Amino acid sequence: MAEGHSPLSQFEIKRWVPIQVGDLDVSFTNSATFMALTVIGVSAFLVLGMRRHALVPGRWQSMAELSYVFIANLVKDTVGTEGRPYFPFIFTVFMFVLFGNLFGMVPYGFTFTSHIVVTFTMAIVVFLGVTVIALIKHKLHFFTFFMPPGVPLIMAPLLVPIEIISYLSRPVSLSVRLFANMLAGHTLLKVFAGFVVALGLFGAFPLAFVVALTALEIVIAFLQAFVFTILTCLYLNDALHLH
């Protein structure tokens, strides 16, 4: 296959505006462009959608309200009323990941959620934030989290490290799940799209498959944004109500 047509070339970072600050490369890349576009897109979606704020909502207002109510209910169901102060953050995370995933579905677009750096940064922010909230709320009592109740003290030297590793693995599994899903889905799309041309007349079959796969990818875009958000909520719930 020709250079630049590999199924993985879509994930390549391209420096659009090279900027160098000292030893740091802070170039404005295609990834940064799509993040900025996502922020603009989310803001436009919510602000323009709610501009008319009619009593009987139109299509855009309805979608904006739906997404708001959806996340508000999610926070209420998983964290309870104590989670309300954190709603803006959780809503932002959800909309950012969702629009990032969806913008990645636009042809010639770039999916920044398919990069582990991006997802891991978000996961580590969630993880550190939640840990700090737990430490502020429960002080040193937080460390009983690593010692399940009813366990004999002799088991502690073995169990506590296991629990700590299990706790530390949260940001890894949180970020890998989102990144792996987006990476695998987009690679699969490109691989099958490559078959369409290669097979000539029989390319209709992979073409049909690619159409179906595109629909599935859009479902996954929603699902993974939801999973990322619900996990954030559950971690927050653990931080607020230790057990």
Partner 1 sequence: MREPGPGEDLERLDARLKRATAEARRSAPGGPPRDERPGSALGLALRVGVELVSALAIGVAIGWLLDAWLGTRPWLMLAFILLGGAAGILNVYRMARGFGYAVGYKQDPPSGRKRPGDQGPGIEE
Q: Is 180 in the site for partner 1 (CB under 8 A)?
A: yes
Among residues 68, 167, 195, 209, the one that binds partner 1 under rule CB under 8 A: 167
The count of other CB atoms within 10 Å of the CB of residue 80 is: 12
* Of 51 and 241, CB closest to partner 1: 241
Among residues 37, 172, 196, 218, the one that binds partner 1 under rule CB under 8 A: 172
Q: Is 240 in the site for partner 1 (CB under 8 A)?
A: no
Where b means 16+ CB within 10 Å and e means fewer, 96-130 reads: bbbbbbbbbbeeebbbbbbbbebbbebbeebbebb
Q: Closest separation between CB of residue 174 and partner 1, Å?
A: 9
Report the alpha-carbon distance of residue 171 to residue 31 in Å, rounded: 22
Q: Is 163 in the site for partner 1 (CB under 8 A)?
A: yes
Which of 39, 11, 20 is closest to 179 using CA atoms? Answer: 11
Which of 125, 117, 123, 104 is closest to 38 using CA atoms? Answer: 104
CA atoms within 13 A on the CB side of 216: 13
Helix (H) or strand (E) holding 29: strand 28-29
* Of 35 and 123, CB closest to partner 1: 123
Q: Is 166 in the site for partner 1 (CB under 8 A)?
A: yes
Q: Is 77 in the site for partner 1 (CB under 8 A)?
A: yes
| Window contacting partner 1 (CB under 8 A); options: 21-29, 42-50, 112-120, 143-151 | 143-151
Report the alpha-carbon distance of residue 7 to residue 10 in Å, rounded: 7
Q: Is 65 in the site for partner 1 (CB under 8 A)?
A: no
Q: Is 88 in the site for partner 1 (CB under 8 A)?
A: no
Beta bridge partners of residue 21, listed in sequence order: 24
Point out which residues bind partner 1 (CB under 8 A): 55-56, 74, 77-78, 80, 145, 148-149, 158, 161-163, 165-170, 172-173, 176-177, 180-181, 216, 223, 226-227, 230-231, 234-235, 237-238, 241, 243
